[in-house]
Amino acid sequence: MNNKDKNRLKILIAAILIIIAGFSFYIGYKIVLLIKQPEVFRTWIESFGIYAPLIYVLITILQIMIPLIPGEPMEIVAGYAFDSVKGTILCLLAESIGSIIVLLIVRKFGRKIVELFFEKKKIEDLKFLNSDENGVILFAMAFIMPGTPKDLLCYYGGLTDIDIRKLMLITTLGRIPSIITSTLAGSSLGDQQYIKAISFLLIAAALSLLGMLLYKNIHDRNSSKK
């Protein structure tokens, strides 16, 4: 990395830290509102009028770029505020854009950006994804399964040798199962269909548990080969 890139990296890191502080406070507060007073949150979103979808998309893009807040609440928000269909489309659009930005930034500036958000051990644990010709398949399997650490995987993807176009496709399509179950739950919550909302959340939880078990199996099996 030359001096010019180092200076750019320092500026980028400083900007990210500033955004982290403001984003964590502002969005964290809004997420609390969703949990405690969901009708207040929807009113807040709707107050932006025709710009409400844009505001949601921008907030979600930031959430993907700054993975301090889990993505699931933002997916539930989409269904609650916009209904399941529109919410799914907006959520998928926002998370796809956010993922692409993350991949491009990591490809440009490298591991130092990843270490801003994740422990070195967690990063090292994913080395098996960049080890051989099966890296693309393993990465796709790990990302598509519900319950896997998608924020970490997205950032780590930028460190691999996997073609950037393939990574963009995987990090977009791989989010669909989680988005659909979460937005359906949010939409049911917004319609006060609480039994249906709980059902979708239970389905999401069961899929996440299964995904975590499968991911652990893939991780342990491939890490042991090194």
Predicted confidence (pLDDT) per residue in 154-175, tens digit: 999 988 888 889 999 999 888 8
Query: 168 is written with which tokens?
Result: 């963009």
Strand runs (DSSP E) across the chain, as ranges?
A: none
Give me the phi and psi of 170, to 5 degrees please.
-65, -45
Under DSSP, the state recorded for 219 is H
For residues 186-204, b (16+ Cβ closer than 10 Å) or e, as one string?
Answer: bbbbbeeeeeebeebbeeb
27: pLDDT strictly greater than 80: no
Greatest mean pLDDT range, 10-14, 121-125, 199-203: 121-125
207 or 21, which is more confident?
Answer: 207
In terms of C-beta density within 10 A (0-12 exposed, 13-18 middle, 19 or more buried), how is residue 17 classed?
exposed
C-alpha–C-alpha distance, residues 89 and 133, integer Å: 33
54-73 pLDDT per residue, tens: 888 888 888 888 777 666 77
Locate 22 and state its tokens.
Answer: 């403001």
CB-CB contact of 90 with 78 (8 Å) = yes
Q: What are phi and psi of 76, to 5 degrees?
A: -65, -40
Q: What pTM, to 2 d.p., does this model score?
A: 0.78
Average pLDDT over residues 75-80: 84
pLDDT at 224: 56
Helices 176-190 + 194-223 axis angle, to 10: 160
